[in-house]
Amino acid sequence: MSRLVPRALSAALAVAAAFGAVDSFAQVKYTAEVRRTSYGIAHIKASDFGSVGYGVGYAFAQDNFCTMADEFLTVRGERSKYLGGTGSTPYGVNNVFSDLFYTYFNGDAAALTAGLARMKPEVQAAFKGWAAGFNRYLKDTGVANLPAPCKGAPFISPVTDVDMMRLVRRYALQASSGNFIAAMMNTFPPSAASESKAWDGVYDEQFWKDYQARREMLGSNALALGADATDNGRGMLLGNPHFPWVGTLRFFQFHVTVPGQMDVMGGSLSGFPFINIGFNKDVAWSHTVDKANHFTLFELKLDPTNPRKYVVDGVSKDMTSKTVTVQVRQADGSLAPVSRVIYSSQFGPLLNLSAPLVWGTSKAYAIKDANLENWRMGDQWFDINRATSTLDVEAALDRNLGIPWVNTIAADRLGNAFYADISTAPNVDRFHQSVCTPDVTMAGVFATLGVPVLDGSRSSCDWVQDPTAPQAGLLPGTRMPRVYRTDFVQNSNDNYWMTNPAANLYSFYVPAVVGIVPQQQGNRTRLGVSQAMAQLATGKFTLPILQQMALSNRSYAADAFLPDMLALCDTQTDAAVVALCSVLKNWDRKFELTSRGAHLFKEFWTRAAAIPNVYTVPFDFTKPLTTPSGLAISNPTVATALVGALTAGGKAITDAGLAVDAPLGMVQFATQTALTGGQVIIPMHGGDSAGGGDLVGVYNKITSSIVPGIGYIVSTGTSYIQTVQFTDSGVNAQGFLSYSQSSNPASPNFADQTAKFSAKQWITLPFTEAAITSDPGYRTTTISE
């Protein structure tokens, strides 16, 4: 087959081939039918998995090429080379720090290629096919004709199988080492003149607040209903991940069909050839970000003669070091090198966090990451995609242990509801952790911050080896929490404990690193459980009832705590405070487009929830779903602070030029369009605390930040949302991709689903052949090479 290749790309390909960058794509033949239905939903049909990957990669590139090109720049460690050192990734990480981090972890092409080789042949073929399809779009389009965000960009180049593995590792490290990029790149040995000072017992509040914000950037709700909970006695599922609306953590909506082998539909993070969250004819599943620790720190006892040596079992060992260098574009266009020396121990690289977790003259801290060698993710979702029941899903989780940092919630057509946190976690049981936590200070670090620290001076304190685990040092899946129910299971980013209040999942044999129990539950968990139980007390779930629950926009915090605040309001005489109180009194306690004052409560409660001793009844582990409760308005100090929180919240709004009593639809917008050159601004319902978190307790979690003179701009939250009902006649699935399928402002599918989501007009997802071909937006093309 002859092909016309733009001259610039032809040269690029020649250079890439000279350095082995094109791999073996030229020897592989792919054929895929790429079909589209309304809203640009892609349906890929092929006879083999390499061709499926080829079709998915091509379709993805049609919609999101520039977003993906930017991410490949990130995982190659080349942002600073092309974009300069002062900018940042879409998720706020400085370009230089990001490049140093990914050069360190992704610089060994041979190790990445070996990771690919560990995957099943079908999965290897799919990832390679994805890269070939992405490259096919680039070849057909040409660099000069790409969408505006990356049109003619000098960093555009073909994607390799090594790049795909760089991307896989980037996702694997998201919830572990990926949370410490800046800290790791700012880790230096203590100077000869430095002294180890005693820690004053005060944590760096801002450091850990930022760490928590990075963790909470990703969230989710999921609810699986069993035979006793649904109107037809079959399974039903709500899946609602809360992910960023920009960058490669956006979901892409597609459907994969390999006749006789796989037929599955849903959404996936950028670059995955299989479905991460979705359904087939037998089972539907979703994931929620879990509470498990996917790393531990090790406290190193340093050799008193040299802070670059550490002692294990009485033997002094040299730290290893690796110099990492990246090129940084200067203002005049020239390149200048920036280097860091990364020091490492037998446990992993060293990192400075904040006191007391810093590299001093007697102690240092290293991170060991459970997901660093997790090359099983592709196999994991490949097997889930082919599951025929919740039992198959469970078996796939146990067998692969490839889920990196999420819970799994599933329902099947037989009426089984299933929950598990079977993910990649350290094999550190409670006894091991208790005897290997170095001292009371490090015990406090775990209790206060949730960061486990083990004693690195004893080899016996390393992660325990279990021959049944697929990777050395991992907790076997069979020892991780799971439950089957015929009523419901749910998760909203708390740990496994309150999956269903009637199921006692607490077990001493589940390590604390998987989840501290008992633990105060978030307000979304309290809302979700209470809504599910209230519905089952009066009747069964139907699909419309499930959808109403998903987007009810009720605030649990308002229902639970606003009455006391309004009682306090009745005692106020200051006119400005009375006016703010009036707004809250008239508010409907929801985050609907028409709700007046929702944003005032958001600002107030974000501040109020941080007040010491603010609750009348603090958390009581015997009443986990109803405590904490009440506001301690009889306490003068608390009462004064609550009024101050309301005043400060109102001021934040008026200082931004907004009205405190405006309808939410007049002040909260989806404007990712404006950031990429488009013109569509869409009012958006849903809510969250100011700055993120789970304080407001709205199931439809929408995180937005105030921009003076404009309003609250959505950055993350409800993303790919699916409601799946199994019926006697097949699957009935409806959903949204909240930010729409394409990140290209010129695409007709740039904001079409966003408008539907704003209006709560659920979109039917065409799954059967008849539904696909009869869809009014149906079109098809076959690509091959």
The set of catalytic residues is: 220
Rounded CA gap, 494 and 339, in Å? 40
Tokens (6 digits) for 480: 């991780």
User: Which DSSP helix (H) or strand (E) runs through 529?
Assistant: helix 523-538
Q: Kindly state the DSSP code that residue 612 receives in the 8-state scheme.
A: T
Residues 6+ apart with CB under 8 A from 573: none
Tokens of 462: 């390393």
| Tokens found for residue 694 | 């789970």
Asked if 623 and 615 count as a contact pair (C-beta separation under 8 A), the reply is no
Phi and psi angles of residue 441, each rounded to the nearest 5 degrees, phi first: -65, -45
CA distance 298 to 536: 47
Is the CA virtual torsion 6, 11, 17, 19 positive or negative?
Answer: negative
Closest by Cα among 505, 486, 502 to 494: 505
Please give the radius of gyration of the chain, using alpha carbons only, rounded to the nearest integer. 26
State the Cα–Cα distance between residues 709 and 230, nearest whole angstrom: 47
Strand pairing of 453-455 and 295-303? parallel
- Provide CB contacts within 8 A for 350, sequence distance 6+: 187, 300, 319, 342, 343, 344, 359, 364, 365, 366
Query: Can you tell me which residue has the tokens 């082998």?
Result: 261
Q: 60 near 54, Cβ under 8 Å?
A: no
Distance CA 410, CA 144 (A): 45
What's the angle, vertex CA 229, arms to CA 225 and CA 232, rounded to 5? 100
In one letter, which amino acid is 163?
Answer: D
Whether the CB-CB separation of 687 and 671 falls below 8 Å is answered with: no
What one-character DSSP code corresponds to residue 93? -
d(CA 443, CA 451): 9
Q: Pairing relation of β-strands 406-412 and 363-369?
A: unpaired
Asked if 480 and 422 count as a contact pair (C-beta separation under 8 A), the reply is: yes
* β pairing state of 417-420 and 363-369: unpaired
Torsion of CA 660, 666, 668, 673, to 10 degrees: -150
Give 430-460 as a 3 state SS string. Answer: HHHHHHHCCCHHHHHHHHHHCCCEEECCCHH
Contacts 24+ apart (CB under 8 A), 516-519: 516/291, 516/447, 516/450, 518/621, 518/624, 519/291, 519/494, 519/495
Q: How many CA atoms lie within 13 A of 194 on its CB side?
A: 16
Beta bridge partners of 336: 328
Would you say 90 and 69 are in contact if contact means Cβ atoms under 8 Å apart? no
- Write the single-letter amino acid at 83: L
Q: How far apart are CA 94 and CA 183, in angstroms?
A: 12
Q: Bridge partners of 257? A: 45, 263
Q: What is the maximum span of the chain, computed from C-alpha positions, in angstroms?
A: 82
Helix (H) or strand (E) segment spanning residue 300: strand 295-303
Pairing relationship of beta strands 629-631 and 615-617 according to DSSP bridges:
antiparallel
CA–CA dist 70, 66 (Å, integer): 6
User: How many angstroms from the chain centroid is the CA of residue 401?
Assistant: 18
